[in-house]
Amino acid sequence: MKVTINDVAKYAGVSIKTVSRVTNKEPSVKQATIDKVNQAIKALNYQPNVAARNLASTSSYVIGFIYDNPNAYYVIDMQNGILSACKDRGFELLIHPCNAKSDAICEELTAMVKHSRLAGLVLTPPMSEDPNILKALDDINANYVRIIAGEMVENDNGLSVLIDDKHGAVEITQHLINLGHKDIGFLSGDHQHESTKERLQGFKQAIENHDLKVNDNWILDGKYSFESGVEGANKLIAMKNRPSAIVACNDEIAAGALFAARLAGLDIPKDLSIVGFEDSPFSRQTWPKLTTVHQPNVQIAQIATQLLIDKHKSQQTETVKIFTPTPVFRDSSSAPQHR
């Protein structure tokens, strides 16, 4: 026979409302009461019905994760961070992959918010940076938090978690310059993502800070994929005056560039230094392992979800969090060799 909330309340000697407050992790419940209810839940092996709780309550206990990103490692990190925060606060997670380029993306997301009775949405790039999507969500008073690239948010009263990609790109390019590199190429990601623009700006800033020349021929458009890294590196390697180092817009691109360089018979890092961005598993699965920029995606997603839930429960104290990526030095970068 299925255990109900009534059974838990009777076992713990409290009201049904008290059990509900404990399972929903509401504030101002005495610790002794929390312990008593949790003991009853454990003893009876009670499993709260989230769907029923959503229907019975005026408040929702489901967070939606919206993404359009080909990088599975990024998606998994985000999912784990959001799920950790949800479990800690008594919420459930609804995962919704989508096509950010779809003409119907705004209608798709607003319909999902309405039909699923979501407490809020965690938006990742490029949806979090799309003004049309944000306006559509604002029009239905949806609760959401944006994970975006940048140093600051202007004229925005919403929730945002910023990643200072520009700073990270300055630091990783500075590392190559400190090693003695003057001829440095850049392999871009999708321009639909603000992170691409921020990382390119940081790359250029580091070059210009040392009175070096930015060679536009060595800055190649691409996508956030291994194949794009292969294609871009092949183009750079084939140039008569090729760069001695490459900054890739993420680790997947960098891994592709490293693969192409080794197939071309180049020694990494003696003949060509290659660095990435994000510190994903790609950076540790290559040979040699990639010098990169650490971006704590699990923690970023966890903090974003906590901000969202706090706002939903009217416990909001902060609206913006900023993360600054930091370099991780491994074996794919070294001083340039005479060519």
Contacts of 241 (CB under 8 A, 6+ apart): 183
Contacts of 164 (CB under 8 A, 6+ apart): 150, 151, 198, 322, 323, 324, 325
Query: Is 136 found in the same domain as 240?
Result: no
Query: Is 280 found in the same domain as 303?
Result: no
Please tell me the predicted confidence (pLDDT) of residue 31: 84
| Number of independent structural domains in the chain | 3
Query: Is 264 found in the same domain as 182?
Result: yes
Please tell me the predicted confidence (pLDDT) of residue 56: 45
User: According to DSSP H, which parts of the chain are helical?
Assistant: 5-12, 16-23, 31-44, 50-56, 72-89, 105-116, 131-139, 165-179, 194-209, 226-238, 251-263, 282-285, 297-312
pLDDT averaged over 10-residue windows placed end to end, the chain, 339 residues: 76 79 72 84 73 52 86 90 90 88 90 84 92 92 92 75 96 97 96 93 96 94 96 96 96 97 96 96 92 96 93 78 95 86
| Residue 93 forms part of a structural domain | yes
Query: Is 72 found in the same domain as 24?
Result: no
CA dist., res. 315 & res. 301, Å (int): 19
Q: What's the CATH code of the domain at 17?
A: 1.10.260.40
Residue 268 CA: distances (Å) to CA of 35, 70, 250, 281 = 58, 27, 18, 19
Please tell me the predicted confidence (pLDDT) of residue 199: 97
Among the candidates 273, 293, 313, a domain finishes at 293
| Residue 70 forms part of a structural domain | yes
Please tell me the predicted confidence (pLDDT) of residue 27: 65
Please tell me the predicted confidence (pLDDT) of residue 55: 43
Please tell me the predicted confidence (pLDDT) of residue 322: 92
What is the enclosing helix (H) or strand (E) of 185?
strand 184-187
Minimal CA–CA distance to 235: which of 217, 248, 251, 249? 217
| Residue 332 forms part of a structural domain | no
Query: Is 226 found in the same domain as 106?
Result: no
**Domain containing 36: what range?**
5-48
Q: Which residues pair with 293 in a beta bridge?
A: 327
DSSP character string of 196-251: HHHHHHHHHHHHHHTTPPP-GGGEE---SSHHHHHHHHHHHHHSTT--SEEEESSH
Query: Is 301 found in the same domain as 158?
Result: yes
Query: Is 287 found in the same domain as 174?
Result: yes
Q: What's the CATH code of the domain at 235?
A: 3.40.50.2300
DSSP 69: -
Query: Is 43 found in the same domain as 18?
Result: yes
| Residue 197 forms part of a structural domain | yes
Query: Is 277 found in the same domain as 171?
Result: yes
| Residue 66 forms part of a structural domain | yes
| Residue 9 forms part of a structural domain | yes
Query: Is 315 found in the same domain as 251?
Result: no
In contact, 47 and 54? CB cutoff 8 Å: no
Query: Is 316 found in the same domain as 287?
Result: no
Query: Is 91 found in the same domain as 132?
Result: yes
Contacts of 130 (CB under 8 A, 6+ apart): 100, 105
| Residue 172 forms part of a structural domain | yes
| Residue 35 forms part of a structural domain | yes
